[in-house]
Amino acid sequence: MADQETVESGGGSSGAERKCGMDMGYVKSINGVLKAKMMGWSLIAFILCLVSGVSIANIFFGVVIFCGLFLSIGLFIVFAYSKDKDITRINIYLFDFLVSILGTIAYFIVCLASVFNIAQPAMIAAAIFGFIAMLSFGASIWFNFQRWRQLKPRPPTSNQSYDANY
């Protein structure tokens, strides 16, 4: 019991609640919930794609869905375990924003192409779940943009930089 209290109270610098090392503030936030929905709907779509059989359209659909699933899981782990503060080489918030944009576009294209595959009902179901995952990616665009703008360093707003010495 004492170990759990020290992890929850003293584990993070922000004093956020932590369980199993995860920042529960992020997991319960709108970004965390959207990431979880992306992962869940993408996983269902990927499993249905695997069940539907092998064709070139199914393979293309599966590759796109798997890439989106893989990136969503990776970003969820980075943010849930507060590793975003340790990553300094890339702007992880901008990366998350770009993944959301590209995921929305890619999911829309492959799901639109797969929904017309009338011969395979499992592929139609996979496309429907892919569309639902696409909506989660789309909703995530706005929230990721807001978060990125809040954390982006802004130039000073003083009028001293515009003063001209005559």
Residue written as token pair 């080489």: 89
DSSP letter at 164?
A: -
Give yes or no for a contact between 66 and 103, defined as CB atoms under 8 angstroms apart.
no
Q: What is the pLDDT of residues 55-72, one digit of tens each?
A: 888 999 999 999 999 999
Query: From the DSSP assignment, how many helices (H) and strands (E) are in the chain?
Result: 6, 2
Q: What is the pLDDT of residues 134-146, one digit of tens each?
A: 999 999 999 988 8
pLDDT along the chain (166 residues), means of 10: 41 59 87 93 95 88 95 93 86 90 95 84 92 94 85 63 54
Claim: this prediction has a pTM higher than 0.85: no
Q: What's the helix, strand, coil split of the chain in %, to 5?
A: 75, 0, 25
CA 6 to chain centroid, in Å, comes to 30
- For 20-74, the DSSP string reads TTEEHHHHHSHHHHHHHHHHHHHHHHHHHHHHT---HHHHHHHHHHHHHHHHHHH
- How far, CA to CA in Å, does 13 sit from each of 64, 137, 153, 162? 37, 30, 21, 38
Give yes or no for a contact between 144 and 93, defined as CB atoms under 8 angstroms apart.
yes
